[in-house]
């Protein structure tokens, strides 16, 4: 692989490694960027895109205009996203990873990536992305998340998932009432995080659904969220803004 210092874009010579060739097939446009965000899966891609769309609507610059490309690592093995991002770093790109924390990558692999200048933005405390959102957002945003889910998969299925996740202790309308009354508890948040990831039609598991969540719910609610969550999101976009 070569980089043309006098050009805006990167010129790529296809390498022989499986990681390199697979990444070129998966997201060829990422190789033309100055910096690359490797997302663990579709949900992470959607959230970053949606947050970016919200930021643009407030007058900020899109990360694509900052020279940042994105790649969906495809989920699965948690090491995959780190390995792809490390490959980009080895070629001289700035690289970042956005990942869940329910399945963790190899510690040594991730630490080596970070030591080489890579950025990792991860969910916290063994959480998947959906859990992170339900645990971190303010009550009014949680209510909007639930309403989004009902629009995506139907209120009846959301109700069934909540009942299943809580052993019938809670239901859809009951939790909405707790949101409206400001009485939502941590136990409710745990149930919602579990219900959202049901194997039968999970609520937000696609690029388009999580894009809408990022744009319409998380972006507007970010400043009122758990400060540690807000800080991690802002770190990614600050990194993107320094891509030049």
| Confidence (pLDDT) at 119 | 98
| Confidence (pLDDT) at 32 | 75
**Who's near 110: CB < 8 A, 6+ residues apart?**
82, 97, 120
- In this structure, are residues 210 and 43 in contact, taking their beta carbons and an 8 Å threshold? yes
List phi, psi (to 5°) of 240. Answer: -65, -40
* E-strand stretches of 62-149: 68-72, 94-99, 119-122
Rounded to an integer, what distance in angstroms lies between the CA atom of residue 81 and that of residue 40?
5
Rounded to an integer, what distance in angstroms lies between the CA atom of residue 129 and that of residue 99?
8
Regions in the chain scoring below 50 on pLDDT: 1-16
Rounded to an integer, what distance in angstroms lies between the CA atom of residue 235 and that of residue 116?
17
Domains of the chain, residue spans = 18-127+224-241, 129-203
Full DSSP string of 178-209: HHHHT---HHHHHHHHHHHT-SSS-SS-SHHH
Lateral strand order in the sheet of 119-122: 68-72, 35-39, 94-99, 119-122
**Who's near 163: CB < 8 A, 6+ residues apart?**
170, 171
pTM of the model: 0.89
CB atoms within 10 A of CB 182: 8
What CATH architecture does domain 18-127+224-241 belong to?
A: 3-Layer(aba) Sandwich (3.40)
- In this structure, are residues 166 and 175 in contact, taking their beta carbons and an 8 Å threshold? no
Handedness of CA 96, 76, 46, 130 (dihedral sign): negative
CB atoms within 10 A of CB 25: 9
CB atoms within 10 A of CB 53: 16
């Amino acid at each position: 692989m070569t980089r043309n210092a006098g050009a805006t874009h990167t010129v790529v010579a296809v390498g022989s490694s499986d990681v390199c060739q697979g990444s070129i097939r998966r997201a060829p446009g990422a190789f033309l960027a100055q910096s690359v965000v490797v997302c663990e899966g579709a949900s992470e891609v959607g959230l970053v895109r949606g947050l970016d769309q919200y930021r643009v609507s407030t007058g900020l610059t899109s990360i694509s205009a900052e020279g940042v490309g994105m790649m969906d690592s495809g989920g699965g093995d948690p090491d995959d996203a780190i390995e792809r991002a490390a490959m980009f770093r080895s070629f001289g790109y700035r690289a970042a990873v956005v990942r869940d924390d329910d399945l963790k990558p190899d510690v040594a692999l991730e630490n080596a990536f970070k030591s080489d200048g890579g950025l990792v933005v991860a969910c916290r405390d063994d959480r998947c992305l959906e859990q992170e959102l339900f645990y971190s957002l303010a009550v009014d945003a949680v209510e909007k998340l639930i309403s989004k889910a009902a629009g995506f998969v139907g209120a009846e299925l959301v109700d069934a998932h909540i009942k299943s996740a809580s052993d019938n202790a809670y239901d859809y309308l009951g939790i909405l009432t707790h949101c409206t009354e400001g009485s939502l508890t941590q136990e409710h948040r745990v149930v919602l995080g579990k219900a959202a990831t049901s194997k039968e039609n999970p609520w937000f598991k696609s690029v388009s659904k999580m894009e809408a969540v990022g744009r319409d719910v998380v972006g507007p609610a970010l400043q009122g969220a758990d400060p540690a969550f807000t800080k991690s999101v802002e770190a990614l976009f600050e990194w993107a803004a320094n891509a030049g």
